[in-house]
Structure formats: C-alpha cells, structure tokens
Structure 1
C-alpha cells in the first residue's frame, strides 16, 4: 500500500490548528522538530495532567485527506493542519492500519502507528458538530474514531508535500487501533 503526503504542519505552541509548512523534520524518538508535542514524554496537556512521565505515543498526528474531504462535503471548513495534524496523507486508509504498522515517509523517515486520536471537545470548540462528525458506527455498532491516527518516530528525516508514503504491516496477529 502506497500513498503520498498532501501537506505537513507544525506549531511551537499548543494551538488547536497547526499552520501548514513547506517541510518538517521528524526526529527519532521525539516527533516533529519545533512542534509543541515533540518529546520523549507526553506533551498533550490533558495527558500531562494525568501523568507527565508517560511515554509520548502521540509524537506524530496523521489524517487522511479523504477524511477532510468527507468532512468538507458535510459542511465543515477543514483544510490540512486545521484539526491539529502534522501530516495529511492521500491514498492510504490510515484507519484500517493495525497497531505497529510502519510508515516509510519521504526519503528516510519511519514512523510506527500507535493508535487513534481520541476526538475531544476541542473539535466542537473549533467548529460546532465536528466532534460528532468524526465519530462513526461500524456495521456491528462499534464506535469508530475518525479524527486521525497517532505514531512515534522511529527514524528521522525531512518530509514535504508530494513525498511518498509506503506502508509495511506488522507480523500477525494484527492488533486493532485503539485510542491513545
């Protein structure tokens, strides 16, 4: 499975939306250089309150462009970076990937998928109804979280729009993504 990077974004402060950049640098074991969520331990404020020493499984936030298109079709104004993601991809069903999937990003970066972004009230603060719009139901009634996926950076490198994304599935048994 292959796709491409549509956009990259980063913000040094804890902003909901992240401004799109021409290029970002991924740092092994840390995340996006200069981004507020970069670090070995968790940087998301809600998680820091619970335990500031827990490992940062949310170093990199990715969302498929197809999800943004779906939200726009329902009347939401969402562009790359608007929902706080660092990387917007195209051509890969990120939500179907199992935990431990490796994403080869650009020429040298590698990230490992850790789980799903948990939609929170900040989505509604950004645009009323957006949180509910990122929640879907599977045919069996299970709740599906569609606000992006999270990953850790295994190997660093630069990443820019147009760069390739290659997917390498982990060995079986595959573990479904859960919120992290």
Structure 2
C-alpha cells in the first residue's frame, strides 16, 4: 500500500483553514514546525480547556484528497488546506488504517497514526451542510468520521507535494481508529 502527498499546509495562527506551502518540516514529538497545533502537549483549544498537560496525539492532521472528490459530487468545493489538514494525500485509504500504522513520507519523515479527526461545527461554518457529508452513520447506525486522521511525528523530515508515502502496518491484532 502506498500513495503520495498532494499538498502540505500549515498556519502559525488559530484559523480553520491552513494555507498551502511548498514544504513543511516535521519535528519529532512536536508536529509541523511553526504550526499552531505543534507541541508535545495538546494545542487544540477544546483539548487545552479540558487538560493542557495531556499528550498531543493530534500533531499532524492528514486528509485524503478523495474526500474532496466525494463532497464535490454533492456540490461542495473543498481544496487542500481548507479543512485544516497539514498533509493532503491521494492513493491511501487513510480511514481504513489501524492505530499505530507508520507512514513513511519523502526521504525521512515518519508519522504514527493515532486516530480519527473528530469533525466539529466549524466545518458547517466553512460550508453550510458540509458537516453532514464528513460525518454520517453506517448501516448499523455507527458514527462514521471521514475528516481525516491524526498522527504524531516519530522521525523528523521535510514533506513536499509529490512525496511518496509508504505504509507500514503494526503487528496484529489491529486496533481500529477511534476519535482522538
């Protein structure tokens, strides 16, 4: 299983969207250099309000570009960085990866998948009705979150659009992704 990076984004200020960049630098145990969500402890405002000493399991947000195609068919125009992701991918079913999967990106960066992004109401503030397209229910009534996955940086590296992404699955039994 492999894919590629189609865009990279970061923002040093709290904002729902993140501007695209030529490259981003991933820092071990921290996240994207200069990004507002970088840090060893939680940086998302809602998480900081609960307990600012908790480990940051949301250092790097990845989103599959295929989601943009899907919501586009429903009339929503979404581009890389619009939903706050740091790395936009193509060719990997991110949502199907188990917890603990390693993503080897470019020459040296390694991310460990920690869980699913829990989409929030800000998505509807960005595009009214979009939240229902990225959160739904399956046939058994279970919540399905499609707004990407979260990860932590295990090895430093620079990531650029076009970089290959290799997938290294953890030892079985696999643990399915849960919201983090």
Q: Report what 1:117 is aligned to.
A: 117
Instruction: State the distance in 1 between where 2:138 and 2:156 align.
Output: 35
Deviation at 1:136, TM superposition (A): 2.7
Match of 2:86 in 1: 86
Cα shift at 1:8: 0.2
2:66 alignment partner in structure 1: 66
Aligned residues between the structures: 180
Partner residue, 2:147: 147
Q: Distance in 2 between matches of 1:66 and 1:136?
A: 17
Which residue number corresponds to residue 13 of structure 2? 13
- Give how far 1:104 is off: 0.3
Matched residue, 1:54:
54
Offset at residue 166 of structure 1 (A): 0.4
Under a length normalisation based on structure 1, what TM-score does the superposition of the two structures give? 0.98
Moved over 6 A (4+): none
Unaligned runs of 5+ in 2: none
Which residue does the alignment assign to 1:39?
39
Q: CA RMSD in A?
A: 0.7
In the TM superposition, what whole-angstrom CA distance separates every residue of 1:56-102 from its partner, at most 9, and x where no partner exists? 00000000010111111211121000000000000000000000000
* 3-state SS of 1:133 partner: helix
State the shift of 1:140 in Å. 2.5
Q: TM-score, normalised by structure 2?
A: 0.98
- CA offset digits 1:3-47 (Å, max 9, x no partner): 000000000001100000000000000000010000000000011
Does the residue aligned with 2:47 lie in a helix, a strand or coil? helix
The superposition leaves residues 84-131 of structure 1 with CA deviations (integer Å, 9 ceiling, x where unpaired) of 000000000000000000000111000000000001111011111111
CA distance in 1, matches of 2:83, 2:90: 16
Question: What is the DSSP-based 3-state SS (H/G/I as helix, E as strand, rest coil) of the residue aligned with 1:49?
Answer: helix
How far apart in 2 are the matches of 1:105 and 1:136? 30
Q: Secondary structure at the match of 1:150?
A: strand
Matching of residues 126-165 of structure 1 within 5 Å: 126-165=126-165
